[in-house]
Amino acid sequence: MPLDQHGYFGLVLTDCQMPVMDGYALARSIRDAERSMDRRTPIVAITASTVQGSYDKCYDAGMDDVLPKPVEMPRLEAMIETWMPRGNSGTGERVDEPGAVPPSLPEADPASPIDPSALAAMFGDDAGMAREILRDFVGPSWTYVRDIEGAIESRSADDVAKAAHKLKSSSRAVGAHALAGLCLALETAGKAGDWPAIDSNGPKLDGAMQAVADYVDSL
């Protein structure tokens, strides 16, 4: 993707694994476009890869730094502070109304469908941001649930594994551990073509997702 000829970005954060154009190709495209410009945009890679040489691949593509997953807010803030041009960060702190009491998420409960500490590790005490992320999580997750259920109905173990993998990853990220565990069981069974395990765990999925949705609605 070439640089916008009518403006610039102070900083580019890119996942290394993206459809159509991955982060490496994006970085190379930006560097190619910059050859005719008196400007160099900082590019930070976001990657879950720990394979030896993966960071070198980022640097070879023209990236300036690497941010490992899972991304924690303090590390992200430090990265922005390091690379964002001064006076153009656009990262002003939220200002609450005078006397307002900062909202907080419920304390961790082993029986709860959501573990608040998962998002707290990334966003600190920003309960508003955590609520927004959880609410954004629910809609797409119901879609994955229906995809899994459809794959079970059509008896496609491979599609069960693929859809369960997607929901597992996002569930882990927001602290929906029980839902993530169920998805892991379905993904493993799907890859192995283990229909008894799929048929045993599949009916539990709707209830686990509904528990998460009810929790989010209560916030």
Q: What is the pLDDT of residues 85-134, one digit of tens each?
A: 765 443 333 333 444 444 444 454 557 888 888 777 766 667 787 888 88
Q: In this predicted structure, what is the pLDDT of residue 179?
A: 93
Q: Maximum Cα–Cα distance for the chain, whole Å? A: 62
Q: Which helix H or strand E contains 195, and what residues bound it?
A: helix 195-201
For 14-62, write each residue's pLDDT tens digit: 988 887 788 899 999 888 888 877 778 899 988 877 666 778 888 889 9
Q: What are the structural domains of the chain?
A: 12-83 (3.40.50.2300), 117-217 (1.20.120.160)
Looking at residue 203, its pLDDT comes to: 95
Percent of the chain exceeding pLDDT 70 equals: 81
Q: Residue 164: what pLDDT? A: 92
Instruction: Return the pLDDT at 88.
Output: 45
- Could you give the strand order of the β-sheet that contains 12-15, starting from the edge strand earlier in sequence? 12-15, 43-47, 65-68
For residue 20, the model assigns a pLDDT of: 77
Tell me the residue length of the chain: 219
Q: Beta strands 65-68 and 12-15: pairing type?
A: unpaired
Query: pLDDT at position 91, please?
Result: 36
Highest mean pLDDT: which range of 29-38, 68-77, 172-181, 187-196: 187-196
- The radius of gyration of the chain from alpha carbons, rounded to an integer in Å, stands at 21
171 pLDDT above the threshold of 80? yes
At 212, which amino acid appears?
V
Contacts of 198 (CB under 8 A, 6+ apart): 152, 157, 160, 186, 189, 190
Q: At what angle do helices 205-217 and 127-153 cross, to 10 degrees?
A: 160
E strands, the chain, are: 12-15, 43-47, 65-68
Confidence of residue 9 (pLDDT cuts 50, 70, 90): confident
Q: What is the mean pLDDT of residues 161-167?
A: 90
Q: Around 7, how many Cα atoms within 13 Å sit in the side-chain half-sphere? A: 4
**Nearest C-alpha neighbor of 176 from the set 131, 132, 112:** 112
- Residue 131, SS3? helix
CA distance 143 to 124: 29
Question: Confidence class of residue 182 from pLDDT cuts 50, 70 and 90?
Answer: very high
pLDDT of residue 95: 35
More confident residue, 195 or 112: 195
Query: Residue 162, CB half-sphere, CA atoms under 13 Å: how many?
Result: 7
> What pLDDT sits at residue 1?
39
